[in-house]
Structure 1
Amino acid sequence: MHVILTDTALTGQDHTTPAYLDGYGIIDSALAREIAAHAVIRPLTPSQTHPAVPADPPVLSDPVPSEPACPGDAALTYRPSRQIADQARAEHGTCQWPHCDRAAWECDLDHHDPFNHAAPEAGGRTVTANLGPLCRGHHRIKTFCGWTFTPGSHNTMVLHAPSGLTYTLYKSGPVELLTGTPPAFPAPHTAPAQLARKTRTRTQHRTARVRTERGINHATRCQNTTGTEPPF
Structure 2
Amino acid sequence: MKSKSPTSNSVHEYIDDQRFRGHSNVGGCCLDGLMPGTLELPTHTALQFELASIAAFEGMLRQLHADQYRRIQRARELAAEVDGVTASSTTRERDMATRSFVAELATTLGQHEASAARLVTEAERLTGPRSATLGALGAGELSLTQLRSVLELTQAVPAEVADAVERVALDAAAAAEAAGGASTNAEVRRRMRQVRERMHPEPLADRRARAASERRVCVEPAPDGMAWLSMFLEAERAIAIDHRLDVLAAREASGDSRTAAQRAADLAADLLLGGALPDDERTRSGLAALTGAVQPRINVTVPVLTLLGLDDEPADLEEYGPIDADTARRLAGHAPSMRRILVHPETGVALSYGREHYRAPSDLDGFVRVRDGRCRFPGCSRRADRADLDHTTAWEHGGQTADANLAALCRRHHRLKHESGWRVAHEPGGVMRWSSPAGHVLRTWPERPFVPVRAGEGADPPGTSGSADPLPPPPPPAFGDRFDDEWRSVLEDAAEPAPF
TM-score (normalised: structure 2): 0.29
Selected match of 1:4 from 290, 301, 310: 301
2:401 partner SS: coil
1:7-31 per-residue CA deviation (whole Å, 9 max, x = no partner) reads: 11222221x2111111111112222
- CA–CA distance in structure 2, aligned partners of residues 86 and 99 of structure 1: 22
My pick for the range that moved more, 24-33 or 68-77, is 68-77
1:109 partner SS: strand
Q: Tell me, which stretches of 5 or more residues in structure 2 are unaligned?
A: 1-297, 452-458, 460-469, 486-500
Write out aligned runs for 1:104-123 (5 A).
104-116=384-396, 123=398
In structure 2, what residue type is equivalent to 1:33?
R
In structure 2, what residue type is equivalent to 1:78?
Y
Higher relative contact order (CA 8 A, sep 6+): 1
Write out aligned runs for 1:124-203 (5 A).
124-152=399-427, 155-171=430-446, 173-175=447-449, 181=471, 182-183=473-474
Following superposition, the deviation at residue 98 of structure 1 comes to 0.7
Q: Percent identity?
A: 29
Q: Assess, with a 3 A threshold, how the Cα gap between structure 1 residues 108 and 170 changes in structure 2: closer, same or farther.
A: same
Q: Assess, with a 3 A threshold, how the Cα gap between structure 1 residues 72 and 84 changes in structure 2: closer, same or farther.
A: closer
Partner of 2:76: none
TM-score (normalised: structure 1): 0.58
- CA–CA distance in structure 2, aligned partners of residues 30 and 95 of structure 1: 29
Aligned residues: 164
1:39-59 per-residue CA deviation (whole Å, 9 max, x = no partner) reads: 32232143xxxxxxxx59xxx
Compare the two structures and name the one with the higher helix fraction: 2
2:439 partner SS: coil
Native 8 Å contact 2:352 2:403 kept in 1? no
- CA–CA distance in structure 2, aligned partners of residues 155 and 80 of structure 1: 17
Compare the two structures and name the one with the higher strand fraction: 1
In structure 1, what residue type is equivalent to 2:300?
V
Selected match of 2:341 from 24, 44, 48: 44
Native 8 Å contact 1:22 1:104 kept in 2? no
1:43 partner SS: coil
Partner of 1:32: 328
Instruction: Tell me if 1:80 matches 2:360.
Output: yes
Q: Assess, with a 3 A threshold, how the Cα gap between structure 1 residues 138 and 106 changes in structure 2: closer, same or farther.
A: same
Native 8 Å contact 1:20 1:174 kept in 2? no
- Alpha-carbon RMSD: 3.4
Q: Assess, with a 3 A threshold, how the Cα gap between structure 1 residues 72 and 145 changes in structure 2: closer, same or farther.
A: closer
- CA–CA distance in structure 2, aligned partners of residues 34 and 18 of structure 1: 13
Native 8 Å contact 1:113 1:124 kept in 2? yes
